């Protein structure tokens, strides 16, 4: 017979048993949920990773390919992009997060480049997305403009670039800068036995040069002591901050700009420095022109003066804002591209001494044809003549090879106006953003052969003479209607500066100096280029001269 106490004890046991059973079932339920979540994660991960074989990168739910982009940004972004394109036969679609602006087609196929840069040029403008991203820095200048705005600037600049007066100005100003400033600065580093940042020196050289020929102003950036030029730092920081807009959703950088934080805060401060310089140049030029007679005004051949004398579509003089955009765009074109290319050239030369030997032999062989050299007369200080610079085919080839591997503008952007199809079969919908990867093109075996990663100037020579390649295979100077107007001047500038340095000095990169590209509109070296200079002996040069 069950007593009340026994009944109570039995009831308590049942309660305890029920409690533990409930906890066990709840635990099992939790465990099953975790199993389900884990299984779901594994399924999503496997599915996303499988997309890599088909689309080049894993495609994650909601995030798209953004995680892979984040990884690429932490390393060498351009090598990362090249590796993807190599495995995707030259073209792939980048899928950004849902509702973001990062979706685009990336290509390095020369057939596609000819299609968008030439054959269907009107269907591939820079587009509103590009202009929106760079407007704060470049405004409506030639680099970002489309249609009538672009055509008007290009036509005016083209007339000036091909005038005899402009060509004379460029050669005379470059000669003065190299011999009165560049070489003394380099010689001073030898006297002090200190390494120098060659990239910084070359940026100063090209900055002074572009200001002379584009604005008729001499900022004196390249002088002993390397005076601090606030604009130069502001401009470099602005180009770096601007490019970050292209690798983050538009809503993110616009929010950062609204709250003035991160890279947008840096960009705002940098652009203030850029604007102050441009405004000062414009104000100074206007004051000078107001005090000069018409005959003297006509003698000036700098681009800023030319644009100041023109009228807009309403018959009014161009605004200071438009003139400011002109200034900034031509500084980007004339300062960064040549100096950055020369920096990579001298780094490659240090790694390839045989190429340096051939360049030196070519230069001495050309100078050796001078009548005074044949008579045994001294050539100190030697100044290369314009016609001699043009004869330096191997140097031209070596610079082109440097630009093939390290183009000053590593990627560029277009936008599709109407539905189209690339020659490789890629379907393009209206509004699609297209990135053409110029850096990657130089490393494609299908374009340049199995030795595409080697520095071989000989690939540009035919019977000892330089032979150019298609602008859609070698796109360092763009192609089609937007082919770089300053291409010939850029080559002359680079050849004259390089020849003047190589003839006098052996340039040796400081041991263990890190060399990496910087993520910016132009491909600066992230840590500069620290070098030691060694003066060449006269006896070293004499063995190269071909005295008849």
* Of the candidates 412, 517, 515, the residue with the CA atom closest to the CA atom of residue 113: 412
* CB-count burial class (<10 Å; 0-12, 13-18, 19+) for 227: exposed
Distance CA 545, CA 548 (A): 9
Who wins on pLDDT, 21 or 420? 420
- pLDDT score for 548: 41
Distance CA 241, CA 408 (A): 17
Q: How sure is the predictor about 49, in pLDDT bands with cuts at 50, 70 and 90?
A: low
Highest mean pLDDT among 54-68, 209-223, 412-426: 412-426
Q: How sure is the predictor about 537, in pLDDT bands with cuts at 50, 70 and 90?
A: confident
Q: How sure is the predictor about 345, in pLDDT bands with cuts at 50, 70 and 90?
A: very high
Q: Is the pLDDT of residue 26 over 60?
A: no
Distance CA 168, CA 268 (A): 38
- Over residues 303-343, the pLDDT tens digits come to 888 888 888 888 888 899 999 998 899 888 888 889 999 99
484 is in an annotated binding site: yes
Q: How sure is the predictor about 11, in pLDDT bands with cuts at 50, 70 and 90?
A: very low
Q: Please check whether residue 455 is in contact with residue 401, taking contact to mean a CB–CB distance below 8 angstroms.
A: yes
Q: How many CB atoms lie within 10 A of CB 391?
A: 15
Q: Please check whether residue 477 is in contact with residue 471, taking contact to mean a CB–CB distance below 8 angstroms.
A: yes
- Over residues 131-180, the pLDDT tens digits come to 999 999 999 999 999 999 999 899 988 988 888 888 888 899 999 999 99
Least confident of 80-89, 227-236, 462-471: 227-236
- Over residues 348-368, the pLDDT tens digits come to 999 999 999 999 999 999 998
What is the C-alpha R_g of the chain? 30
Q: Is the pLDDT of residue 181 over 50?
A: yes
Distance CA 500, CA 363 (A): 10
Q: Is the pLDDT of residue 255 over 70?
A: yes
Q: Is the pLDDT of residue 14 over 60?
A: no
Q: Is the pLDDT of residue 20 over 60?
A: no
Q: How sure is the predictor about 15, in pLDDT bands with cuts at 50, 70 and 90?
A: very low
Q: Could you tell me the two tokens for 445?
A: 């075996």
* Of the candidates 309, 337, 338, 307, the residue with the CA atom closest to the CA atom of residue 140: 307
User: In which element (H, E) is residue 305 found?
Assistant: helix 303-308
Q: How sure is the predictor about 36, in pLDDT bands with cuts at 50, 70 and 90?
A: low
- pLDDT score for 336: 83
- Over residues 371-422, the pLDDT tens digits come to 888 887 776 789 999 999 999 999 999 999 999 999 999 999 999 999 999 9
Q: Is CATH 1.10.630.10 the classification given to domain 67-218+229-542? A: yes
Who wins on pLDDT, 548 or 292? 292
Who wins on pLDDT, 235 or 294? 235
Give CA separation, 240 vs 94, 398, 518, in Å.
22, 28, 8
Q: Is the pLDDT of residue 295 over 60?
A: no
- pLDDT score for 7: 42
- pLDDT score for 184: 95
Q: What is the average per-residue pLDDT within 491-499?
A: 97
- pLDDT score for 161: 84
- pLDDT score for 29: 58
- Token match 């763009």: residue? 478
Q: Is the pLDDT of residue 190 over 70?
A: yes
Q: Please check whether residue 240 is in contact with residue 519, taking contact to mean a CB–CB distance below 8 angstroms.
A: yes
Greatest CA separation for the chain: 138
- pLDDT score for 16: 47
* Of the candidates 51, 50, 56, 49, the residue with the CA atom closest to the CA atom of residue 88: 56
Please give the model's pTM, rounded to 2 decimal places: 0.88
Q: How sure is the predictor about 301, in pLDDT bands with cuts at 50, 70 and 90?
A: low
Q: Could you tell me the two tokens for 390?
A: 């043009």
End-to-end CA distance of the chain: 135
Q: How sure is the predictor about 24, in pLDDT bands with cuts at 50, 70 and 90?
A: very low
Who wins on pLDDT, 34 or 17? 34
pLDDT > 90 fraction of the chain, expressed in percent and rounded: 61
Q: How many CB atoms lie within 10 A of CB 422?
A: 19
* Of the candidates 535, 537, 522, the residue with the CA atom closest to the CA atom of residue 202: 522
- Over residues 420-458, the pLDDT tens digits come to 999 999 999 999 999 999 999 999 999 999 999 999 999
């Amino acid at each position: 017979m069950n007593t009340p106490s026994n009944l109570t004890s039995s009831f308590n046991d049942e309660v305890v048993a029920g409690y533990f059973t409930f906890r066990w079932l709840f635990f099992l339920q939790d465990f099953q949920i975790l199993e389900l979540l884990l299984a779901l994660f594994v399924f999503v991960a496997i599915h996303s990773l499988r997309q890599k074989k088909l689309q080049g990168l894993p495609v994650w739910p909601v995030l798209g390919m953004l995680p892979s982009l984040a990884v690429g940004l932490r390393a060498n972004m351009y090598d990362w992009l090249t590796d993807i394109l190599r495995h995707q036969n030259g073209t792939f679609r980048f899928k950004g997060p849902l509702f973001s602006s990062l979706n685009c087609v990336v290509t390095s196929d020369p057939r596609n480049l000819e299609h968008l840069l030439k054959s269907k040029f009107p269907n591939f403008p820079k587009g509103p997305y590009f202009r929106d991203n760079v407007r704060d820095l470049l405004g409506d200048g030639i680099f970002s403009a489309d249609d009538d705005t672009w055509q008007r600037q290009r036509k005016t600049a083209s007339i000036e670039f091909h005038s005899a007066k402009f060509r004379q100005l460029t050669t005379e100003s470059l000669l003065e800068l190299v011999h009165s400033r560049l070489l003394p600065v380099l010689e001073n580093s030898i006297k002090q036995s200190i390494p120098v940042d060659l990239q910084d020196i070359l940026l100063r050289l090209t900055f002074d040069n572009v200001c002379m020929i584009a604005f008729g102003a001499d900022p004196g950036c390249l002088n002993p002591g390397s005076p601090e030029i606030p604009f130069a730092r502001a401009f470099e920081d602005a180009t770096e901050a601007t490019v970050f807009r292209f690798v983050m959703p538009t809503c993110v950088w616009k929010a950062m700009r609204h709250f003035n934080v991160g890279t947008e805060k840096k960009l705002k401060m940098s652009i203030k420095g850029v604007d102050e310089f441009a405004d000062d140049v414009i104000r100074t030029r206007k004051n000078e022109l107001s005090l000069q007679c018409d005959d003297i005004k006509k003698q000036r051949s700098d681009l800023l003066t030319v644009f100041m004398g023109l009228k807009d579509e309403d018959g009014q003089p161009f605004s200071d804002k438009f003139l400011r955009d002109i200034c900034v765009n031509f500084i980007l074109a004339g300062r960064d591209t040549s100096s950055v290319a020369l920096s990579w050239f001298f780094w490659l030369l240090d790694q390839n001494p045989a190429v340096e030997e051939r360049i030196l032999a070519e230069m001495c062989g050309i100078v050796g044809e001078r009548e005074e050299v044949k008579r045994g007369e001294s050539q100190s200080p030697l100044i290369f003549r314009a016609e001699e610079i043009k004869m330096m085919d191997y140097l031209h080839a070596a610079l082109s090879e440097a630009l093939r591997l390290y183009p000053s503008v590593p990627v560029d952007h277009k936008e599709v106006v109407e539905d189209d199809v690339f020659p490789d079969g890629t379907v393009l919908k209206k509004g699609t953003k297209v990135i053409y990867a110029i850096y990657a093109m130089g490393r494609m075996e299908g374009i340049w052969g199995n030795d595409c990663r080697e520095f071989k100037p000989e690939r540009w020579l035919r019977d000892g003479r330089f032979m150019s390649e298609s602008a859609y295979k070698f796109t360092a100077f763009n192609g089609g209607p937007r082919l770089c107007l300053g291409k010939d001047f850029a080559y002359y500038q680079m050849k004259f500066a390089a020849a003047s340095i190589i003839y006098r000095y052996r340039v040796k990169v400081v041991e263990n100096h890190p060399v990496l590209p910087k993520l910016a509109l132009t491909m600066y070296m992230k840590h500069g280029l620290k070098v030691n200079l060694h003066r060449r002996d006269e006896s070293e040069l004499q063995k190269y001269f071909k005295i008849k």
